[in-house]
Copies of this chain bind each other. A is one copy, B any other.
Amino acid sequence: MPAVRLTDVAVRAGVSLATASRVLNGSLRSPAESIAVRVRAAADELGYVANAQAQALARSATGLVGLVVHDISDPYFSSIVRGAQSAARERSSQVLLASTDRHEQSEVEAVKAFAMYRTDAIVLAGSRGAHSDQALTRELQRYTANGGRVVTFGHTAFAGSRVVEVANEDGGARLVAALVDRGRRRFAILGGPEELVTTQHRVAGFRRALAAAGLEPLLVVHGDFTSDGGRAATEACLEAAGPGTEGADQPLCLLAVNDVMALGALAAVRSHGLAVPDDVEVAGFDDIPTLRHVDPPLTTFRLPLEEMGRRAAELALATEEPGPVHIEGEVVLRLSAGAER
């Protein structure tokens, strides 16, 4: 049951292939309306569906954008993807998705695959180490050399990549500054995987604001970017600096590097029989929509995740070199830390 081809449509409409193509796919030249009507009718009757592969081959542009994320089930990434997908749709592009589980190998393979599919652009949503994998860099370089566009978040890891700058460090600093403002003095940091620049930037922001107040984190624990990671890191913190330890007359404030970890921290604190925020305070990062209703409400730094995805896709799909994109966020003080009671 071979699909209907443009040729079939042309024959049925009694016109040439060229004319049919011009009518059905917005070319610069459009044939006379009388003919156009005939062609469209023929296409309709036959149930013609253009073959994007053939078009891609002929046009050398695929209308595809590749998105690589660490973990699509992480709400941070899924929000970004939502925005990106939506922007792509508006530009009638399709999204090719790869979720790599943070394995460099998978990332490299994703980029290779996207290169094979000749995606018009690749968006690398998961942050990488500062001096990234050799293989990845090589693939990306080859990709850009062949005319592909690359977009990254938060840092310029690759020559020639367009970047969506995210206020990770600044956000971290502002969040901590707000907490310090409200009198907090004892902080511990629940960091994500150490090699990810997102972690690095956020932690750097935390430290900068602390330093500005003459403070220093009591502890920095690196864990997984998950609830369980947050939970485990929190255990370590409570052990080292919880109530009963030296200086514990001042409440401890746990700075998680994202909301999901903060949720784990909440659980860990509870399971120690401690109360948030009375005994221990907890702050997150991102302001994940799904987690807006957790109890107690999380103090966090809100990032417009969906917009970030959207902007990334726009950057990816822009044909002329666009200006820099800068994403700001805002401190959101809620009950879990630093808020008025």
Say whether, besides A49-B116, A142-B47, A295-B270, A95 and B94 are in contact (CB < 8 Å). Answer: no
A62 touches B53 (CB 8 A): yes
A263 to B331, alpha carbons, bound, how many Å? 23
Chain B residues within 8 Å of A264, by CB: 293
Within 8 A of B (CB), among A27-60: 47, 49-54, 56-57
In the complex, are the beta carbons of A73 and B62 less than 8 A apart?
no
Most chain-B CB neighbours within 10 Å: which of A51, A75, A97? A97
In the complex, the answer to whether B57 meets A53 with C-beta atoms within 8 Å is yes
Q: Is the CB of A49 within 8 A of B142?
A: yes
Q: Does A260 make an interface contact (CB < 8 A)?
A: yes
Does A21 have its Cβ within 8 Å of any Cβ on chain B?
A: no
A94 B73 Cβ-Cβ under 8 A: no
Interchain CB contact under 8 A, B72 and A75: no
Q: Which of A79-87, A127-135, A154-162, A209-217 contacts B (4 or more CB under 8 A)?
A: A79-87
User: Is there a chain B Cβ closer than 8 Å to A294's Cβ?
Assistant: yes
CB <8 Å contact, B293 and A266: yes
Among B50, B75, B260, point to the contact of A73 (Cβ < 8 A): B75
User: Which range holds the interface residue count of chain A?
Assistant: 35 or more
Q: Is the CB of A227 within 8 A of B116?
A: no
Give complex CA distance A72, B76 in Å.
11
Nearest Cβ in chain B — how far from A95, in angstroms? 5
Assess the B97–A52 pair: CB atoms within 8 A. Answer: no
Give the CA-CA distance A81 to B95 in the complex, in Å: 13
Also in contact, A1 and B98, with CB within 8 A (given A56-B53, A75-B290, A106-B89): no
Known: A72-B72, A75-B78, A295-B295. A96 touches B95 (CB 8 A): yes
- The residue in chain B whose Cβ has the minimal distance to the Cβ of A139 is B49
Contact, CB under 8 Å: B94 / A94: no
Q: Which of A105-134 contact B (CB under 8 A)?
A: 106, 109, 112-113, 115-118
Q: What's the least CB distance linking A159 to chain B, in Å?
A: 15
- By the criterion CB–CB under 8 Å, are B73 and A97 in contact? no
A270 to chain B, nearest CB (A): 6
User: Is A145 an interface residue, CB under 8 A from the partner?
Assistant: yes
Besides A53-B57, A53-B117, 19 other A-B contacts (C-beta < 8 A):
A1-B146, A49-B116, A51-B57, A51-B118, A52-B117, A53-B53, A53-B56, A57-B57, A72-B82, A72-B85, A73-B78, A73-B81, A85-B97, A85-B98, A89-B109, A94-B113, A96-B96, A227-B292, A267-B293
Closest 9 CB pairs of A and B: A267-B293, A78-B78, A52-B116, A73-B82, A53-B56, A97-B97, A3-B146, A52-B117, A73-B78
